[in-house]
Amino acid sequence: MTQQRQTSIHRKTSETDIQLTLNIDGSGKSNINTGIGFFDHMLTALSKHSLFDLDLIVKGDLHIDDHHSVEDTGIALGQAFRQVIGDKKGICRFGQATVPLDEALSEVIIDISGRPYLAWDVPFPTQKIGQMDTELFEEFFRGFVMSAHINLHAIRRAGRNSHHIAEATFKATARALRSACEFDMRALNNIPSTKGVL
């Protein structure tokens, strides 16, 4: 498995213009500018802890609000992920991580199943972190999951600080994705499904 799994996406609508390059066999390098400071911080953590290399430039209608930029970033990242994961031959498929950050504890479970589903149980005690609406995290994850065609469960196990809760959730997602994407050395030629296809 020497060929790296990478792709580039250009997604342009009347609301956003997104340029994205993703390499899931990288080292966690990132260059991210969405125009939303805290969102950049979370995506940088996602890249770092998944070991995905991510170059991302988003130009969105931030004069309206952050919604379109956040949701469309999830969609574009999901499209790129679905391309690079390919037929899923030899991957572990499942990934799970529980990550603490001070008082916060988040758990994320992933199945690269080909069947998109988001189960989101991550309540936030505040409506904003900096200038970013905390309700937009669910929109990002939904956009990503639906475009990537994966099953993702995110659960807040503990936490009082919204910044800590968000960061623990992104880091747990990163670690779960990393585990699910890794190759199973005992089954490199197999599709990890009794159906023979995912």
- d(CA 59, CA 73) in angstroms, rounded, equals 10
User: Mind listing the pLDDT tens digit for each residue in 76-120?
Assistant: 999 999 999 999 999 999 999 999 999 999 999 999 999 999 999
Q: pLDDT over 70 for what percent of the chain?
A: 99
Is residue 1 over pLDDT 80? no
User: Mind listing the pLDDT tens digit for each residue in 127-168?
Assistant: 999 999 999 999 999 999 999 999 999 999 999 999 999 999
115 within 8 A of 178, measured Cβ to Cβ:
no
What pLDDT shows up at residue 62?
97
Predicted structure pTM score: 0.97
What pLDDT shows up at residue 195?
86
Tokens of 51: 């070991």
What pLDDT shows up at residue 194?
85
User: Mind listing the pLDDT tens digit for each residue in 51-75?
Assistant: 999 999 999 999 999 999 999 999 9
- d(CA 54, CA 42) in angstroms, rounded, equals 12
Which among 112, 118, 121, 109 has a CA at the least distance from the CA of 176?
Answer: 109
Higher pLDDT, 17 or 188: 17
Per-residue pLDDT band at 198 (split at 50, 70, 90): confident
Q: Which domains does the chain have, with CATH numbers?
A: 6-181 (3.30.230.40)
What pLDDT shows up at residue 2?
63
